[in-house]
């Protein structure tokens, strides 16, 4: 893998919605080129007879069963008692998303 061209760094920055300065483009170009070179080395390793695995320790998560406790559960009225902004038994909150497109 060769070095990434400036136009490629600019394109990647735009895809990631990053506004990069010239100095940042130079640094990131060098760093990404190193990463790609390392991935190129990994691609040359023969893994034909290696079993796929997602982990190597044999450990698994130990989870408890969820138990519903009636004395810890709020009724709808209790949950909504702290607000006067309710619609169809849901809290009413200010919108945080807009309908305008973010595509440029």
Structure tokens at 57: 């320790």
Contact of 1 with 34, CB cutoff 8 Å = no
CATH of domain 6-43: 1.10.20
Amino acid 4: pLDDT: 74
pLDDT tens-digit map of 63-98: 888 888 878 888 899 999 999 899 999 999 988 887
Start-to-end CA span in the chain (Å) = 31
Cβ burial, residue 10 (10 Å; 0-12/13-18/19+): middle
pTM above 0.75, yes or no: no
């Amino acid at each position: 893998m060769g070095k990434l061209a400036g136009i490629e760094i600019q394109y990647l920055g735009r895809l990631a919605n990053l506004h990069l300065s010239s100095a940042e483009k130079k640094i990131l170009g060098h760093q990404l080129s190193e990463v790609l070179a390392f991935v190129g080395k990994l691609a040359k390793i023969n893994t034909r007879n290696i079993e796929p695995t997602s982990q190597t320790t044999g450990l698994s998560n130990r989870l408890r069963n969820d138990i519903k406790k009636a004395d810890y559960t709020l009724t709808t009225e209790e949950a909504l008692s702290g607000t006067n902004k309710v619609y169809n038994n849901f809290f009413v909150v200010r919108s945080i998303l807009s309908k305008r497109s973010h595509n440029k």
